[in-house]
Amino acid sequence: MKIVLLGYMASGKSVVGEKLAQALKLDYIDLDSFIETNEGMSISEIFSEKGEIYFRIREGEYLQILLNTVNNTVISIGGGTPCYGKNIEFIKEQSLSFYLKASVSTIFNRVKKEISKRPLIADFTDPELLKEYIAKHLFERNNYYQKADFTVSVDKKTIDEICLEIKERIPN
Ligand code: S3P
């Protein structure tokens, strides 16, 4: 079994993924970490030194490698992963996918504390403009996110509650 968690930045994909994998006795892999290990650079360095297009191409390739090689694994992917190339189709073919759906205000409240770690929003200094960017970006990406097999709302829920909701939707 392969479970893919997708959703916008800061929707909790990594933290939920780790906990879910533990609960289901599956392995856990984070696509961003897999890219960083294989490229020998952080995601921020890849963006600044090689550019976003390079990142998107490699991201799609590493996604394919992972989905073709692992099994019994929970995989959390990057916020943009489902939105490029044929990634979402590939995810749907190869895994059971869950969209962790967070509202603009949940995302904004989480990312504002760690803007510099996130290359797409690192240059925002005005909080209002950041919030507007997130709202627009999320709206655009929703078309892709909604293609996941299941959607789980994460606002105001604990990690355990989210894991439970995911587990309830996994067929036996
Ligand atoms: C991105 C999200 C990041 C990372 C990269 C681009 C995006 O992953 O892949 O900075 O396009 O939304 P997280 O969603 O895990 O932060």
Under-70 pLDDT residues of the chain? none
Is the residue at 126 inside a domain? yes
| 4 φψ region: left (φ > 0), alpha (ψ -120 to 50), beta (else) | beta
pLDDT, position 152: 98
* Ligand 1 contacts CB of residue 118 (under 6 A): yes
Instruction: Judge whether 148 lies within some domain.
Output: yes
What pLDDT sits at residue 69?
96
Hey, which residues does 98 pair with through a beta bridge?
A: 5, 150
Question: Is 168 within a domain?
Answer: no
Residue 8's CATH number:
3.40.50.300
Ligand 1 centre distance from Cα of residue 172 (Å):
31
Count structural domains, the chain: 1
Domain containing 35 equals 2-160
Confirm if 164 and 16 have CB atoms less than 8 A apart. Answer: no
Whether 3 contacts 16, CB under 8 Å:
no
pLDDT for position 111: 95
Q: What is the pLDDT of residue 57?
A: 98
- Please indicate whether residue 119, judged by its CB atom, sits closer than 6 Å to ligand 1: yes
- In whole angstroms, give the CA distance from residue 8 to residue 104: 10
79 Cβ closer than 6 Å to some ligand 1 atom? yes
Task: Tell whether 81 is covered by a domain.
Answer: yes
What does the DSSP 8-state code read for residue 51?
A: -
Whole-number Å distance between alpha carbons of 21 and 2 = 10
Query: What gap in Å lies between CA 129 and CA 149, rounded to an integer?
Result: 32
